[in-house]
């Protein structure tokens, strides 16, 4: 949906047209909150929000004349690879507890 929204803004042209698109998007968000706010446990599940967003994505795709499936088929950006852990990691340093301090003092 984000890609459709950016395309719509890119095609909007002038500053006033961009304002109209942004206002429409803000209206969608407000309308979704109004419709889904009364559902119990919506915050945890998000089912109503997901259905509203799917409908909005389909509407934007229809306005742009593209398939919603095309967006799903595009490869996702690769995330940064996690750091490789060393094959021989150094053990964590022991913190001196009370008994260790007593042993050091008694030497």
pLDDT per residue as tens digits for the range 64-83: 887 665 554 455 566 666 66
In-domain check, residue 69: yes
Q: How many domains does the chain have?
A: 1
Query: Which has more confidence, 72 or 17?
Result: 17
Does pTM top 0.85 for this prediction?
no
Residue 58 structural domain:
2-73
Q: Is residue 86 part of a domain?
A: no
| Residue 50 included in any domain | yes
For residue 79, tell me if it sits in a domain: no
pLDDT, the chain, mean = 74
Does 18 reside within a domain? yes
Question: What's the average model confidence in pLDDT over 3-30?
Answer: 83
Q: How confident is the model at residue 100 (pLDDT cuts 50, 70, 90)?
A: low
* Mean pLDDT computed over 52-64: 87
Q: What pLDDT does residue 59 have?
A: 87
Distance between CA 60 and CA 67 in Å, rounded?
10
Query: Is 104 contained in some domain?
Result: no
Instruction: Give DSSP secondary structure letters for 64-103.
Output: HT--HHHHHHSPPPPPPPPPPPPSSPPPPPPPP-HHHHHH
């Amino acid at each position: 949906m984000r890609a459709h929204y950016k395309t719509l803004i890119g095609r909007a042209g002038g500053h006033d047209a961009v304002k109209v698109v942004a206002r429409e998007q803000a209206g969608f968000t407000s309308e979704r909150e109004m419709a889904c706010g009364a559902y119990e446990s919506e915050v945890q599940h998000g089912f109503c929000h997901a259905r509203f967003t799917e409908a909005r994505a389909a509407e934007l795709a229809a306005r742009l004349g593209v398939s919603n499936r095309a967006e799903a088929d595009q490869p996702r950006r690769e995330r940064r690879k996690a750091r490789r852990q060393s094959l021989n990691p150094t053990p964590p340093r022991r913190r001196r507890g009370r008994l260790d301090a007593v042993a050091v003092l008694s030497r």
